[in-house]
Amino acid sequence: MDGSPDMSTSPAPHAPAHPPPDPQLIADWTCRLQSAGDEVARLVEDLVAANAPALAECFYGGLLKDPRANRFLDPDQVQGRLKPSLQRWLRQLASARAGDVESLHRLHEHVGQVHARIGIPVDLVGRGTRILKEHMHQVIGAATADATLALRASLHLDGLMDLALESMTRAYARSREAASELDGSFRLFSLIQNVGTERERQRALLLAWENALLYALTADQPGPVENLLVSRSEFGLWFLHKGMASFGETSETRQVGELAERIDAALRERLPGSGSAAERRALLDEIRGWAAEIRNLVGVLFEGIGDLESGRDALTRLLNRRFLPTILRREVALQANTGRQFAVLMLDLDHFKAINDQYGHEAGDRALQHVAAILVENTRGSDYLFRYGGEEFVVVLGSVSRTEAVAIAHALRRAIAESPVLLQGGVRLPLTASIGVALQDGHPDYERVLARADAAMYQAKRGGRDQVVVADGGLPDPPGQRALRG
């Protein structure tokens, strides 16, 4: 039951600090551990330790019967990582004593935060807890003929499990509430600096797709159907990755999505068999009618969006990291629901401290603005650009393959290296960047893909800078090694 859900105690990268523990919950933990008695505590500890492998098998066997668990539980991860982690948690919980209360509570607060971050249904966690308790009741009953001792041991185990679940759920609810507030703020926050300009841009992109479709349907050889789909157009990608996130779940966004699916389905089903000009003309007229509906709906959506600056970096005008969790959560959900993979690029300017030291902070600011402009010019309208902090930037690429993501990263690296920033006095300051690339690997915790991109970027630094490194799925480098950056 950690983030996947196993019971790892390592905090996720960039995780928020733990709030003060709930005094009542700490008192309840203490009371439970102090009142057990040595005989009961030792019996539960010994039986859990001896039966931990069987408990893990029972736990995950029960959870995997629920189809929803497939999103969170990969069979290889269950076998190689989650079962051993669950066994460690069970032994840690059963061996706890009164002096371990605060660390025990913090552990379950962390687990609850991770469960909230990946969105695992809380009832699945409750079901797993029930499965563990029922199995242990049978183990305890078979281990002792003393009915009173068996009852006391079962009650002690139930109390430990219930308190663990309560601590997790408390943190889960708090984290989900915070995430919902942030998501709500993001829907009010305009992803574009000029609403009018962006509205016209998206209208133009939709019209460009219509014109390309018109040309294809009047040609002798229309080409591959996949190249004509509205979902694969610049407008379609923007709406999927940015429009939906910005406008939120409304009747208008649902209608746009349904119309886009209708257009794509019509192209896939009817275009290959449309041999005559009349058949193609009829198909085109029907699709253009649906496209007109999409234009009208998008116009309505733009009228209701505002431009709030609280999520934008004042220096570069890129997004700041405030909304990065919202974007990554949504991309994880899109990947799970549609199969569309996304990638995270972590970019760090090389030798940035030396720039500030030699030319001053004004030159450093100019360099950051220059790089931000390069990122805007060399990414797609559906991509997200963040100033992550200091000289670090994050790019979130939606609907990309590994090859495409790596190609974009190399293009960004070249664009930065080939475009020195112009300083006062005509000084041309060369810049380079180290870039880490991580593809979403299907894990529901967005912190993992971010950490893998961060680790790959550090590897690019360590390997000589001014290069792109693709994450291999390994763990991030130890935090102390980050001091080598610059």
Q: Is residue 308 part of a domain?
A: no
Would you state the pLDDT for residue 482?
39
Q: Is residue 11 part of a domain?
A: no
Q: Is residue 345 part of a domain?
A: yes
Compute the distance between CA of residue 192 and CA of residue 201 in angstroms, rounded to an integer: 11
Check whether residue 406 and residue 265 sit in a common domain. no
Check whether residue 37 and residue 142 sit in a common domain. yes
Residue whose pair of structure tokens reads 């829907």 in the numeric block: 187
Would you state the pLDDT for residue 398?
92
Burial of 273 (0-12, 13-18, 19+ CB in 10 A): exposed
What is the total count of domains within the chain? 3
CATH code at position 94: 1.10.490.10
Check whether residue 221 and residue 365 sit in a common domain. no
CA angle, 308 as apex, 304 and 314 as ends, to 5°? 150
Q: Is residue 187 part of a domain?
A: no
Compute the distance between CA of residue 350 and CA of residue 373 in angstroms, rounded to an integer: 17
For each of the chain's 486 residues, which pLDDT tens digit applies? 443 344 333 333 344 445 566 788 888 888 988 888 899 999 999 999 999 999 989 888 888 888 887 777 777 777 877 888 888 888 988 998 888 888 887 888 888 877 777 777 878 888 888 999 999 999 999 999 999 999 999 999 999 989 888 888 887 777 766 665 556 555 545 444 456 777 888 999 999 999 999 888 887 777 788 889 999 999 999 998 888 877 777 778 889 999 999 999 999 998 877 677 788 888 889 999 999 999 999 988 887 654 344 567 878 888 888 788 888 988 988 888 888 899 999 999 999 999 989 999 889 999 999 999 999 999 988 899 999 989 999 999 999 999 999 999 999 999 999 999 998 888 899 999 999 999 998 888 889 999 999 999 999 999 999 999 999 744 343 333 333 344
Q: Enumerate the β-bridge partners of residue 470.
A: 437
Q: Within 10 Å of residue 307's Cβ, how many Cβ atoms?
A: 14
Burial of 19 (0-12, 13-18, 19+ CB in 10 A): exposed
Compute the distance between CA of residue 247 and CA of residue 9 in angstroms, rounded to an integer: 37
The DSSP call for residue 120 is -
Which residues touch 119 (CB under 8 Å, ≥6 apart)?
Answer: 329, 333, 444
Check whether residue 153 and residue 218 sit in a common domain. no
Asked if residues 282 and 217 have their Cβ atoms less than 8 Å apart, the reply is: no
Q: Is residue 45 part of a domain?
A: yes
Check whether residue 435 and residue 356 sit in a common domain. yes
Q: Within 10 Å of residue 17's Cβ, how many Cβ atoms?
A: 5
Asked if residues 298 and 256 have their Cβ atoms less than 8 Å apart, the reply is: yes
pTM, two decimal places:
0.53
Q: Which of 278, 303, 328 is the last residue of a domain?
A: 303
Q: Which of 157, 181, 205 is the last residue of a domain?
A: 181
CATH code at position 472: 3.30.70.270
Q: Within 10 Å of residue 123's Cβ, how many Cβ atoms?
A: 10
Closest CA to 179 of 249, 114, 250: 114
Check whether residue 148 and residue 241 sit in a common domain. no
Count H helices and E strands in the chain, helices first: 17, 8
- Per-residue tokens: 119: 């969105």
Check whether residue 214 and residue 82 sit in a common domain. no
Q: Is residue 214 part of a domain?
A: yes
Q: Within 10 Å of residue 402's Cβ, how many Cβ atoms?
A: 12
Check whether residue 348 and residue 290 sit in a common domain. no
Compute the distance between CA of residue 43 and CA of residue 139 in angstroms, rounded to an integer: 11
SS3 319: strand
SS3 393: strand
CATH code at position 218: 1.20.120
Q: Is residue 5 part of a domain?
A: no
Q: Which of 303, 327, 351 is the last residue of a domain?
A: 303
Compute the distance between CA of residue 37 and CA of residue 97 in angstroms, rounded to an integer: 10
- Per-residue tokens: 368: 């950051």
Q: Is residue 6 part of a domain?
A: no
- Per-residue tokens: 247: 């406008």
Instruction: Tell me which residue range forms the domain holding 128.
Output: 23-181
Would you state the pLDDT for residue 24?
84
Q: Which residues of 406-424 are buried (b: 16+ CB within 10 A; e: fewer)?
A: bebbeebbeebeebebebe
SS3 385: strand
Would you state the pLDDT for residue 217?
83
Closest CA to 323 of 182, 174, 113: 182
Which residues touch 46 (CB under 8 Å, ≥6 apart)?
Answer: none
Check whether residue 479 and residue 335 sit in a common domain. yes
Would you state the pLDDT for residue 178?
64
The DSSP call for residue 312 is B
Check whether residue 199 and residue 283 sit in a common domain. yes
Check whether residue 202 and residue 244 sit in a common domain. yes
Asked if residues 291 and 263 have their Cβ atoms less than 8 Å apart, the reply is: yes
Check whether residue 71 and residue 160 sit in a common domain. yes
Q: Within 10 Å of residue 187's Cβ, how many Cβ atoms?
A: 17
